[in-house]
Amino acid sequence: MHTVGIVIKRNKDLALEVGAELVQWLRQRQVEAVFGEELARVIPGTAVTRKPDIPRLADIIVVLGGDGTLLSIARLINDRDVPILGVNLGGLGFLTAITLDELYAVMEDILARRYEVSRRMMLTARVYRQQELITSYNVLNDVVINKGALARIIELETTIDHRYLTTFKADGLIISTPTGSTGYSLSAGGPVVYPTLDSIVLAPICPHTLTNRPLLLPPDVTVETVLTSEGGDVFLTLDGQVGFSLQQNDLVTITRATHDINIKLIKSPTKDYFEVLRTKLKWGERYA
């Protein structure tokens, strides 16, 4: 293990403090650390690494923050085979399952190469306008098409492998990975899917037709949906962080990302996925 990338949650003092301590801890073990400008400001005399360059330079990446911080770096991995350790600094975290108290014990195991990873599939979303590809994104959690606050119900003509499924009349549509099944998709009534399975979840948001229900699809299908309704603000949102404005007749295609593009999350040595579910979703608890 030669180089560790460190990504911290922006504007969070605890992340800065822990990041600076981790850099010193790594240096004492002759391990190089690469990190961005915010952390470099509190460690004088260190070089700044652009966030998009961290996956290229690092052997592993440590994320100090929450799931959103981890998602932001996951989209930059591309075909780099770089494991990610997510350290939860507070809030709800399904991806950042390591606690701060566990950090250095887990890091000792990582430096000794005693760790396991959980491989997660990603999706690629492409937008075509007048048959021309205008943008493309890779996501770990989900692709969401939804209307603005004041827009009317939108219509999304949807096909699976070029076979007509239905025209959703709804507030929107969520296309999720198993990893993202515990996010927005869950709020829309979608199933919890074990994260290492290969599948795609299709979940309408507040559908006008009550018989529309979430649909679990095999991983290698192509989902295509066309915005057929007129007027109103409609947006494509990627992992809840990147937004793109859609126009009438825009075509959005969603496929599994190439097999070279997947995310390797370092597993917690002290708890499994089912314990995370029980803890985060409070399963089994009684309410007064």
Which residue, among 121, 92, 94, 96, has the nearest Cα to 106 in the 3D structure?
Answer: 96
Q: Would you tell me the crossing angle of helices 13-27 and 103-111 to the nearest 10 degrees?
A: 40
Res 11 pLDDT > 90: no
Res 90 pLDDT > 80: no
pLDDT at residue 210 in the model = 83
pLDDT band at 235 (very low <50, low <70, confident <90, very high): very high
Residue range 178-195: mean pLDDT, rounded: 95
Mean pLDDT is lowest, of 80-94, 101-115, 156-170, 175-189, for: 80-94
Spatial distance between the Cα atoms of 218 and 27, rounded to a whole number of angstroms: 45
Torsions phi, psi of 12, nearest 5? -125, 115
Mean pLDDT is lowest, of 66-75, 138-147, 267-276, for: 267-276
pLDDT at residue 287 in the model = 65
Which is it for strands 83-88 and 60-65: parallel, antiparallel or unpaired?
Answer: parallel
Active site residues: 67
Spatial distance between the Cα atoms of 177 and 257, rounded to a whole number of angstroms: 11
Residue range 262-266: mean pLDDT, rounded: 92
Dihedral-angle region of residue 155 (phi above 0 means left; psi in -120 to 50 means alpha; beta otherwise): beta
User: Which amino acid, one-letter code, is at 166?
Assistant: T
Percent of the chain's residues with pLDDT above 90: 76
Percent of the chain's residues with pLDDT above 70: 97
User: What is the set of domains in the chain, with CATH numbers?
Assistant: 3-120+261-281 (3.40.50.10330), 123-256 (2.60.200.30)
For the segment 53-70, what is each residue's pLDDT rounded down to a tens digit? 999 999 999 999 999 999
Residue range 71-97: mean pLDDT, rounded: 87
Spatial distance between the Cα atoms of 118 and 34, rounded to a whole number of angstroms: 24
Mean pLDDT across the chain, nearest whole number? Answer: 92
Q: What is the DSSP secondary structure assignment for residue 259, as one 8-state letter? A: T
Dihedral sign computed on CA atoms, order 147, 249, 231, 235: positive
Residue range 176-189: mean pLDDT, rounded: 95
pLDDT band at 288 (very low <50, low <70, confident <90, very high): low
Residue range 241-269: mean pLDDT, rounded: 92
User: Which amino acid, one-letter code, is at 187?
Assistant: S
CB 87 within 8 A of CB 73: no
CB 252 within 8 A of CB 145: yes
The vertex-22 CA angle with 267 and 65, nearest 5°, equals 55
The H or E element spanning position 59 is: none
pLDDT at residue 209 in the model = 87
pLDDT at residue 92 in the model = 64
The H or E element spanning position 22 is: helix 13-27
**Residue whose structure tokens are 């937008």:** 127
Res 254 pLDDT > 80: yes
Other CB atoms within 10 A of residue 262 CB: 18
Torsions phi, psi of 232, nearest 5? 80, 160
CB 25 within 8 A of CB 107: yes
CB 141 within 8 A of CB 230: no
